[in-house]
Amino acid sequence: MKRTWERIIRENRETILHRWHERGLDLFTGKMAPGTPLAEALADGMGMILDGFHNDSDLCHEGVLRVTRILAVHPFRPSRSLSLFRELSAILQETGGAEADASFCRERIEETVFEAFDRFMEHRETIYQLKVEESRSKMHMLLGRTGS
């Protein structure tokens, strides 16, 4: 099962990655063009996920971390951001066809989505904490100016 997905992904990596990356860029509705540093970073993270998909490697976890970091800074709802992984599932199912174990793919996608949700929310929490600290700092500076 794992070997089949490993082979399918290895043989079709560029096609799968290209299709998935296009769908990922579609999330940004014209705000992110291919070839930009952010688009390239997204592609790198997606590639890491693909390369570690079949065996749940550290490479896959690092890819999830990188992709969710990019998604978390945009004002998308979590469901819209994480729909990117549903797209991967569809692409893999189409590519694998009848020879691939669909249940293994669904299980791996589900595990990846749960991990992505956790990472996405951690990034959002960090962003919120930074905004709170920035507001406190501004307030402190304003109070210091009025006290002088």
- Segment 10-27, tens digit of pLDDT: 999 999 999 999 999 988
> What confidence category does residue 126 fall into, taking pLDDT thresholds of 50, 70 and 90?
very high
This prediction has a pTM of 0.84
Phi-psi region of 86 (alpha: psi -120 to 50; beta: other; left: phi over 0): alpha
Q: Which fold has domain 2-122?
A: Globin-like (1.10.490)
Of 29, 2, 5, 30, the residue nearest 88 (C-alpha): 5
- Give 53-98 pLDDT, tens digit per residue: 988 789 999 999 999 999 999 888 999 999 999 999 999 989 988 7
Residue 101 C-alpha from the chain's centroid: 24
Residue 103 phi/psi, 5° resolution? -70, -35
Look at the block and give the residue holding tokens 């962003």: 127
Could you count the other beta carbons within 10 Å of the beta carbon of residue 15?
Answer: 11
Structure tokens at 51: 């390369």
- Report CA torsion sign: 86, 65, 105, 95: positive
What span, in angstroms and rounded, lies between the C-alpha atoms of 90 and 88?
A: 5
